[in-house]
Amino acid sequence: MSVEDDLVVLSGDRKVIRLGWTSNLGWARPYINQDQRGPKPKAYSELLQEGDLVWLEED
């Protein structure tokens, strides 16, 4: 895993949070139609772009 595989976010209270890539995000495949999904993502960059707003919840 490299730094490029990490997701770096800024929380509402201005804390920097770094999340490493995990393979269990395979559910986030792109929608094609009711019966088909695209390939499983291999990096956060396939799901998000700089400036996207995301909701994070701690387990």
Q: What averages of pLDDT result for each successive group of 10 residues across the chain (59 residues)?
A: 73 89 86 95 88 83
Chain-centre distance for alpha carbon 25 = 8
Chain-centre distance for alpha carbon 49 = 9
Domain assignment present for 8: yes
Q: What is the residue whose two structure tokens read 């929380």?
A: 11
Instruction: Say what the pLDDT of residue 3 is.
Output: 54
The beta strand positions in 1-59, using DSSP E, are: 7-10, 16-19, 31-33, 36-37
Domain assignment present for 58: no
Domain assignment present for 51: no
Domain assignment present for 42: yes
Instruction: Say what the pLDDT of residue 56 is.
Output: 81
Instruction: Say what the pLDDT of residue 20 is.
Output: 87
- The boundaries of the domain holding residue 39 are 3-46
Domain assignment present for 55: no
Instruction: Say what the pLDDT of residue 31 is.
Output: 94
How many domains does the chain divide into? 1
